[in-house]
Amino acid sequence: MVRVPPALILCLAVATAAAQEAPSLAGSIEGDVYVSPTGAYKIKIPVLPALGGVVRDTDKVVTFRDNFGLQVSVGAFPQDATQKWELSTRGIKDYLIYFFSNLVLPDFRQFCPGTHAESAGFSADLLDGTLFTYILMPGGSMFNPPTVLGASESPPVAKRGNMLFIHNGFTFVISTELSERVTEGKSFNKTPEEENKMLRDRLVGLAARMEFTGAAKPKAPAP
């Protein structure tokens, strides 16, 4: 069975935030493109060094972060015999729900025990089947809230969007935090549905930056 190392997606982000020097990489960078260690995909890097952009990775997950509210992780998990069996018996939608519920969500909960799913949706037309999930993480933000005199010290509730799909024997998980929810404080007053649309648009945009081994660059369907 595929095992996502405890808090891997977020521990990479924490390490990135603390990094003072460019880290060594398991994958490689070719110009402005990151190439995964397995060669399963390439992605145009969404951060710039001039803006504090840093890239960190392991053999399965890469995290991009800058100083202006962007933190993105891309995980590519190879499917072993057990995962292939789960996919064949469940079908793609139920398999992605299973993968998120049993592997991804527990990973986030190890980093932030109060994490819970707010909502989810499945798009059958995007990348042959894509699951979007939106989770709330009390005190689990990668960003600092604005300082306000006399304000409550209760930690802000971070919100992350996750995009799961399958390609060439890999289960992909793209995850990003809606940083404005924390950095803008009470001035950010979007509805949950508006927040979800912002996250979905960003995740689809990130997927559009990817190029897969032996496949054309994926394109989002017309809105």
Q: In what order do the strands lie in the sheet with 28-30?
A: 28-30, 33-35, 41-44, 210-212
What pLDDT, on the 0 to 100 scale, is given for residue 15? 40
Query: pLDDT by residue (tens digit) across 31-76?
Result: 999 999 999 999 999 999 988 999 999 999 999 999 888 999 999 9
Domain spans, the chain: 8-212
Q: Would you say 202 and 69 are in contact if contact means Cβ atoms under 8 Å apart? A: no
pLDDT tens for each residue of 155-173: 889 999 999 999 999 999 9
Q: What is the CATH number of domain 8-212?
A: 3.40.1000.10
Residue type, 156: P
On average, the pLDDT of the chain sits at 86
Report whether pLDDT(136) > 50: yes
pLDDT of residue 145: 72
Structure token pair of residue 61 = 């997950």
**Residue 82, pLDDT above cutoff 50:** yes
Asked if residues 136 and 7 have their Cβ atoms less than 8 Å apart, the reply is: no
Question: Tokens representing 65?
Answer: 């972060």
Say what the pTM is.
0.85
Distance CA 110, CA 112 (A): 6
Could you read off the pLDDT of 173-201 as tens digits, one per residue? 999 999 999 999 889 999 999 999 999 99
Q: Evaluate if residue 95 carries a pLDDT over 80.
A: yes
pLDDT at 38: 92
pLDDT confidence tier of residue 151, bands split at 50, 70 and 90: low
The neighbour count for residue 30, using CB atoms within 10 Å, is: 10
Q: Is the pLDDT of residue 14 over 90?
A: no
